[in-house]
Structure 1
Amino acid sequence: MFEIAREALAVLHEGGSLGVVVVTGVHGSTPRAPGSAIAVCADGRALGAVSGGCIEGEAYELALSRLADRSPLTQTLGGEGDLYRPGLACGGAVDVLAFHVGPGDHDIVSALERSLEDGEVTLTLPGGAVVTRPRAPRLVIVGAVDFTPALAAAGRALGYRVIVVDPRPVFATPERLPAAHEVHVAWPDRFLAGLEIEPSTVICVLTHDDRIDVPALAAALASPAGYVGAMGSRVASERRLARLREAGVGDDALARLRSPIGLDLGGSSPAETAVAILAEVIATRAGASGRPLGETRGPIHPRHES
């Protein structure tokens, strides 16, 4: 539900109401996780989604019905039991809760507002179902270079809290990096030393300057960050590895470094490069192969049984 917070709040702050359907549980292979939601406005507009499209019409009608009837309603959508009902093409099913939300539902409004900021947010829905939005993982981009705005925008779209750090004040400005949540003018190694870094943290070093890259990477590889990558040609990457070894970075730490950064997708523009980088990040976090799905076996979507 938190993924539609901004659009939902725009309606609620203007005095409007919403009929909402939230996924509370999934069975089998499904494209959306618990917490996914669709909301319907009084004028018929839909916000969000609960599936890849297979049961969206049924979810829409269910949400629409809550505009007139404010009592919460639970239901299961999808499955393979009834050929005449819409179902998920992947064969799974989702448990959903449908309910009404108005401007006076202060707990829900407050939780949606808090979800626009950093930090974990938990919301108890009508009927007792609980949805949680964990604190957003960090995407730390070292270097305010020409690739940085595209990577920041793509990272933000994927739910990261985007932090850009560069010691050069002429480049590290919010105006140049509108998608970043934070822009810091600082030496990256010192900045990283003072940052809370978790296994979910992604650190991408884009500067192409060994004076910045080497100490920043040394700090990043000494941290528990789940992904550390550095941009550069193969020649530059080999040179940088040698300098990192000279700086005392061991082989086990260097084995964690993704350089040259990103998957081989064949693109070269900033936007294409951002896709290649984040594709590798997603595959690394999921422990996936990064191969075409047509060449793999097994479920496409992770299973989230409830």
Structure 2
Amino acid sequence: MLDIAEELNGWVEQGRDFAVATVVAVGGSAPRRPGAALAVDADGTAIGSVSGGCVEGAVYELCRQALQDGESVLERFGYSDDDAFAVGLTCGGIIDILVTPVRAGDPVRPVIAAALEAAAFGRAAALARIVTGPADLVGRAMLVRTDGNDDSSCYDSGSYGRGHDDSGSYGGDNGDSGSPTGGFGAHPELDRTVAAEAAAFLDAGRTGTLEIGEQGSRCGAPLTVLVESSVPAPRMIVFGAIDFASALVRVGKFLNHHVTVCDARPVFATEARFPEADEIVVEWPHKYLERTEVDARTVLCVLTHDAKFDVPLLQLALRLPVAYVGAMGSRRTHLDRNARLREVGVTELELARLRSPIGLDLGARTPEETALSIAAEIVANRRGGSGVPLTGAHTPIHHDVTSVPAGRIGSVA
């Protein structure tokens, strides 16, 4: 649902009633991942997608029904061998979809509204919703977010169901949550468990389901909880303000990265040359990398192919916990650069992290083709793809190195 947060936040601000259908779990060759959503308002306007078109019509009707009866529902869609024309995924996949009404007066609405606002404005937040379990708990929601001023965490919680209104909020210092007020309305320990697990999902930027056993749920039955994480856009830092960098900036923005261009030469690192970059930095690359913030989703693209820039930059970059480090250059440049890096103490294990020459073998020549080659390698690295043609291959079409079957990511006894 948070993938369409900007539009839905607008609906909330306008006071619209709506129902949202969210992909909870997938199996096989399903086209959308957990968290993908379709929303329908009271006038029948629809936004988003849960299947790329396969089951949109049926899900649309489920949303309309949920708006009428006010009940959350979990529905499974899959391919039918007996009737290929039945509602289902002709690609052979299976998806579980949670449909939740979000109407004025519903206790869940303030929680979802807060999650949508946070996601729409680029703030880190995780929305946890009960997908399966006792009927009176299904659809209840909890919002977990981090405070930008310190390390404390807090959550807002709301219940969904007839006769319930036990929404509340909770805040703690340095991650010490204490006793929550409000919550799912079942047991305080369940609130604390889900808050802690959702915070871990948020820290990793993950969306998926959490299985909580009967003992852990404290409500007499096991639960499945969908956790949707909304995190700021991952960073792409492009070192070297060359013509190839301009094309890579455009592709990086297309892939929803926050793109920074860094070069020590002010005549090249200008807004006029890189109008689509989020940030332009005139500084020695390694000096900038020393002081800027990176994380496990950051990608570093070194396009300078000049030893005086590359060596100190890569010496630092290969020791940082980032997602990707790639460097441009010919194979001769690559061998020379590796020798220089070994001379300054870079280990073989660290060198193994370096993607050089940068990009996949597409036969690229132009800056745009090269940018596509680099982006393809970044996506393959993130999703666990092989980079080989799908024609004739026997590998899965959809990869995700962080996913496991049916979207189950974690479990709690």
TM-score, normalized by length of structure 2?
0.64
**Using a 3 Å threshold, how does the CA distance of structure 1 residues 38 and 176 change in structure 2: closer, same or farther?**
farther
Counterpart CA distance in 2 for 1:45 and 1:169 is 49
**Using a 3 Å threshold, how does the CA distance of structure 1 residues 89 and 121 change in structure 2: closer, same or farther?**
same
Q: CA deviation at 1:293?
A: 1.4
Q: Is the Cα contact below 8 Å between 2:23 and 2:35 reproduced in 1?
A: yes
RMSD across aligned positions (CA): 3.0
Q: Deviations over 1:117-151 (max 9, x none)?
A: 55642113434453322545432222333333432
- For residue 204 of structure 1, give the secondary structure of its aligned residue in structure 2: strand
- Residue 132 of structure 1 is matched in structure 2 by 228
Counterpart CA distance in 2 for 1:127 and 1:232 is 53
- Residue 61 of structure 1 is matched in structure 2 by 61
- For residue 316 of structure 2, give the secondary structure of its aligned residue in structure 1: helix
Counterpart CA distance in 2 for 1:10 and 1:103 is 15
**Using a 3 Å threshold, how does the CA distance of structure 1 residues 162 and 118 change in structure 2: closer, same or farther?**
farther
Counterpart CA distance in 1 for 2:369 and 2:19 is 38
**Using a 3 Å threshold, how does the CA distance of structure 1 residues 116 and 210 change in structure 2: closer, same or farther?**
farther
Amino acid at match of 1:107: V
- Residue 287 of structure 2 is matched in structure 1 by 190
- Residue 28 of structure 2 is matched in structure 1 by 28
In structure 1, the gaps of 5 or more residues are none
1:152 maps onto 2:249 in alignment: yes
Q: Deviations over 1:209-250 (max 9, x none)?
A: 333222211211122323211122334334433433343333
**Using a 3 Å threshold, how does the CA distance of structure 1 residues 90 and 231 change in structure 2: closer, same or farther?**
same
- For residue 292 of structure 1, give the secondary structure of its aligned residue in structure 2: coil
Counterpart CA distance in 2 for 1:66 and 1:269 is 51
Q: CA deviation at 1:25?
A: 2.0
1:107 maps onto 2:204 in alignment: no
Q: Is the Cα contact below 8 Å between 2:119 and 2:230 reproduced in 1?
A: no
- For residue 24 of structure 1, give the secondary structure of its aligned residue in structure 2: strand
- Residue 98 of structure 1 is matched in structure 2 by 99
1:221 maps onto 2:318 in alignment: yes
Amino acid at match of 2:90: A
1:304 maps onto 2:395 in alignment: no
Counterpart CA distance in 2 for 1:271 and 1:117 is 31
**Using a 3 Å threshold, how does the CA distance of structure 1 residues 10 and 117 change in structure 2: closer, same or farther?**
closer
TM-score, normalized by length of structure 1?
0.84
* Structure of greater relative contact order (alpha carbons < 8 Å, 6+ residues apart): 1
Please identify, of 108-117 and 166-175, the stretch whose mean Cα deviation from structure 2 is larger: 166-175
**Using a 3 Å threshold, how does the CA distance of structure 1 residues 213 and 197 change in structure 2: closer, same or farther?**
same
Counterpart CA distance in 2 for 1:268 and 1:46 is 42
- For residue 391 of structure 2, give the secondary structure of its aligned residue in structure 1: helix
Q: Is the Cα contact below 8 Å between 1:120 and 1:132 reproduced in 2?
A: no
Counterpart CA distance in 1 for 2:123 and 2:302 is 25
Counterpart CA distance in 2 for 1:34 and 1:60 is 18
Please identify, of 145-154 and 251-260, the stretch whose mean Cα deviation from structure 2 is larger: 145-154
1:123 maps onto 2:132 in alignment: no
Counterpart CA distance in 2 for 1:69 and 1:152 is 48
Q: Deviations over 1:73-121 (max 9, x none)?
A: 2211224376252111232221111123358833222212222455642
Q: Is the Cα contact below 8 Å between 1:26 and 1:93 reproduced in 2?
A: yes
In structure 2, the gaps of 5 or more residues are 130-138, 142-224, 409-413
- Residue 8 of structure 2 is matched in structure 1 by 8
Q: Deviations over 1:236-288 (max 9, x none)?
A: 33443343334333333223222221012133333322221121122223443
- Residue 255 of structure 1 is matched in structure 2 by 352
Counterpart CA distance in 2 for 1:103 and 1:278 is 43
Counterpart CA distance in 1 for 2:253 and 2:245 is 12
Q: Is the Cα contact below 8 Å between 1:147 and 1:270 reproduced in 2?
A: yes
Q: Deviations over 1:50-80 (max 9, x none)?
A: 1132222222332344444443222112243
The size of the alignment, in residue pairs, is 306
- For residue 147 of structure 1, give the secondary structure of its aligned residue in structure 2: helix
Amino acid at match of 1:101: V
Amino acid at match of 2:36: S
- For residue 21 of structure 2, give the secondary structure of its aligned residue in structure 1: strand
Q: CA deviation at 1:178?
A: 5.1
